[in-house]
């Protein structure tokens, strides 16, 4: 069964945030980290994987991504800090 991920990247602790969705979390974060994704994350140095959730359907993942993007910043920070209080880059944990 295929998995889908909603993920949050940050430039640093309490820095700029980016929310995305993918079917291959390792590959997608690698692309962000190595500048293969032109645009927002590259421009603002948003390369640290600080949070992710796994879903069984792309529809559920996209729905969650859209919902998170409407949240107030404080709510997003609370969500991140519940699972990752140190704002550790989780990329090494998933490779």
**pLDDT at residue 24 greater than cutoff 90:** yes
Taking the C-alpha atoms of residue 46 and residue 84, their distance in angstroms, rounded to an integer, is 17
Could you give the C-alpha distances from 70 to 19, 46, 76, in angstroms and in order?
11, 19, 10
- pLDDT (tens digit per residue) in 34-80: 999 889 999 999 999 999 999 999 999 999 999 999 999 999 999 99
Q: Which domains occur in the chain, in start order?
A: 4-94 (3.40.1440.10)
Contact 4, 46 (CB under 8 A): no
């Amino acid at each position: 069964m295929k998995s889908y991920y909603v993920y949050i990247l940050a430039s640093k602790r309490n820095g700029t945030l980016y929310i995305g969705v993918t079917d291959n979390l390792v590959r997608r974060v690698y692309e962000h980290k190595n500048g293969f994704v032109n645009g927002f994350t590259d421009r603002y140095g948003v390369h640290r994987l600080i949070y992710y959730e796994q879903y069984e359907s792309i529809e559920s993942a996209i729905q969650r991504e859209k919902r998170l993007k409407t949240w107030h910043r404080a709510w997003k920070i609370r969500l991140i800090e519940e699972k990752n209080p140190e704002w550790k880059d989780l990329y090494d944990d998933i490779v």
